Amino acid sequence: MDKVIIAENLSLAYSKDETIINKANFSIDSGSFVFITGASGSGKSTLLKSLYGSLKPIEGSLVVGGVELRGVANAKLNFLRKHLGIVFQDYKLVKEWTIEKNIMLPLIINGYEKSIIQSQVDSLLKHVRLKHQSGKYPLELSGGEQQRVAMARALAHNPILILADEPTGNLDDYSSQLIWNLLEGANEQLKTTVIVVTHHIPEAMKIEYKHYHIEFGDIHEVI
Amino acid sequence: MKSFKNHISLVIALVSILFSLQIFTIVDRSIDAYKENLAKNYSLVIVSQKTVQNKDMLNKIKELASIEELSPDSVIQKLNTGISQKNIELLKVTLPKFYKFKLKKYPTPAKLEKIKKLLLQYPYITKVETFSNTHDTTYKLLLLFKNVISVLAVLILLVTILLIFKELRIWQFKHYERMNIMGLFGAPTWLRSAVLFRLSIVDAFIAFGISFVVFSYFSSSIWIAEQFENIGISVVVFDKIYDSLLMLGVSIVVSILLASFIVLGHKEEV
Ligand SMILES: Nc1ncnc2c1ncn2[C@@H]1O[C@H](COP(=O)(O)OP(=O)(O)OP(=O)(O)O)[C@@H](O)[C@H]1O
Ligand SMILES: [Mg+2]
């Protein structure tokens, strides 16, 4: 099976004196659904940052979608990022844009046609139950609503890899289930690889998944 | 209101740059006009044993505008007491010739010295009077005036640059988040900074528009025309084509530079 992520001897750090991930080895099959768990501060968000190229490895190698991220050039990184769908732990919505425009962002970057963008955004807004809020600005929404906007944005351009950092962290059971259904749907129907950082793996998962745990700077699979 | 605030501070900075630029231009033009005026009223007096060949001289010394022979008649008239007509004719022949040399431009003291040396190389030219004392004073006064204005213009420019740097930091802060997020989704640099460049070009045009209106008004103001008339010069306060293009150019270049600084200085947060 194709590997969408291959990490060898991967070390991550923000400063020289403290490594967060230490010589980790793991690989992720293309089309799989992966949960990542770990205590607060263990390095889950840090690992995701390295997967979308914000934090470069200080040691070892990290290949995502065929692109070596250690010392990657900007143009190549932009190319990779166009095919990623990221839900950030702090959402990272553009405050001065309506939520509709926020969801359009990856579609605009990927150069989609106007009419396709509009219909895609309409259907996403419906899926995350925010149709009636489309003209509002992020700060006019609740935390959970902003999180759903971030989810819709990550799905908009049918990415090959979705990286979601606690996408249900602020949601009630009903909205959480909505998100899980969307992620499962993308994985099942579009064969999108999905990597989700979470504290609770939902009990009612309908599909097969893998589970990695981060502890003491190491990443290991939980079987 | 919000969009007005977005524009106002950069526009103010740009307008102050354009104002100091144009005022400097006007002063420069006034000084040139004044110099021309002085040149018109200024001349050297040359004493020569021989008739000076005007064409030759004008070709050899490029700074000369015209040569005019001074008639000795008035001097002779004064001596005209008890001298016979024949002797007067004789006197006329033996008397050296006097010439008034006009210059194209009001010369610097060094240039004046050079011209004098050149003239004295002719064996038949015996004396060159440059009236250098008066000349020096006038010239120094002019220089002083120009220097004072230059210092003022530099001061205004410094203050404006400070203003612009302050503006740069505000802009950096304001646009950072959006540019960062766009980058995380793989937007190329041009797309990330498109808004920034659009904003700065719009501001450049607004600043140009304001300066254009103000200086157009000045250039048609009777009061200002009178001031120049009083010192006997006429100056183009605002050339609607040449000055406009310069203003627009400077305005756009400065604001694009500003936006480029922000784009180049952008670093992704980790
Ligand atoms: N930008 C940063 N600069 C320096 N250190 C950082 C930065 N971000 C995170 N860290 C440190 O890295 C470690 C791991 O942080 P990380 O955000 O990856 O944790 P996490 O597993 O996502 O935790 P949580 O479940 O609370 O989100 C923490 O000790 C944190 O202090
Ligand atoms: Mg985290």
Pair B69, B99 in one domain = yes
Which mutation among A10, A11, A12, A14 tests ligand 1's pocket best, with the greatest number of atoms within 8 A of CB?
A14
Q: Is B252 a residue whose pLDDT tops 90?
A: yes
Average pLDDT, chain A: 91
Least confident of A144-148, B96-100, B248-252: B96-100
Pair B214, B175 in one domain = yes
Pair B208, B158 in one domain = yes
Cα separation, A86 vs A51, in Å, equals 10
Domain range for A135 = 94-158
pLDDT of A33-76, one tens digit each?
999 999 999 999 999 999 999 999 999 999 999 899 988 888 89
| Residue A104, domain member (yes or no) | yes
Pick from A98, A151, A147: nearest CA to A124: A151
Establish whether this prediction's ipTM goes over 0.90: yes
| Residue A86, domain member (yes or no) | no
Predicted pLDDT at A1: 61
Six-digit token string for B167: 């503006």
Pair B68, B162 in one domain = no
Give DSSP secondary structure letters for B114-168.
HHHHHHHTSTTEEEEE--HHHHHHHHHHHHHHHHHHHHHHHHHHHHHHHHHHHHH
Per-residue pLDDT, averaged over B176-188, amounts to: 92
Cα separation, A100 vs A133, in Å, equals 9
Six-digit token string for A169: 């962290």
Which residue carries 């640059």 as its tokens?
B161
pLDDT of B16-70, one tens digit each?
889 888 888 888 888 888 888 888 788 888 888 888 777 777 887 888 888 888 8
- pLDDT category, B205, cuts 50, 70, 90? very high
pLDDT of B113-170, one tens digit each?
888 888 888 888 888 888 877 777 877 887 888 888 888 888 888 888 888 888 778 8
Domain count, chain B: 2
Pair B33, B150 in one domain = yes
- Chain A residues touching chain B at CB-CB below 8 Å: 14, 49, 52, 54-55, 75, 77-84, 86, 88, 92-97, 105-106, 108-109
Average pLDDT, chain B: 84
pLDDT of B73-95, one tens digit each?
777 777 666 777 787 778 777 78
Predicted pLDDT at B3: 64
| Residue A3, domain member (yes or no) | no
B162: contact with A, CB 8 A cutoff: no
- pTM comes to 0.76
Predicted pLDDT at A87: 95
Pair B161, B260 in one domain = yes
Domain range for B56 = 43-105
Domain count, chain A: 1
B58: contact with A, CB 8 A cutoff: no
| Residue B172, domain member (yes or no) | yes
A59 - beta bridge partners? A11
Pick from B56, B63, B49: nearest CA to B97: B49
From chain A, the residues in CB contact with B5 under 8 A are none
Predicted pLDDT at A35: 94
Which residue carries 């004789």 as its tokens?
B90
| Residue A183, domain member (yes or no) | no
| Residue B269, domain member (yes or no) | no
| Residue B29, domain member (yes or no) | yes
Cα separation, B142 vs A190, in Å, equals 80
Report residues near ion ligand 2: CB below 5 Å.
A 45, 89
Contact A105 B185 (CB under 8 A): yes
pLDDT of A192-213, one tens digit each?
999 999 998 888 788 889 999 9
Per-residue pLDDT, averaged over B254-267, amounts to: 85
Predicted pLDDT at B234: 83
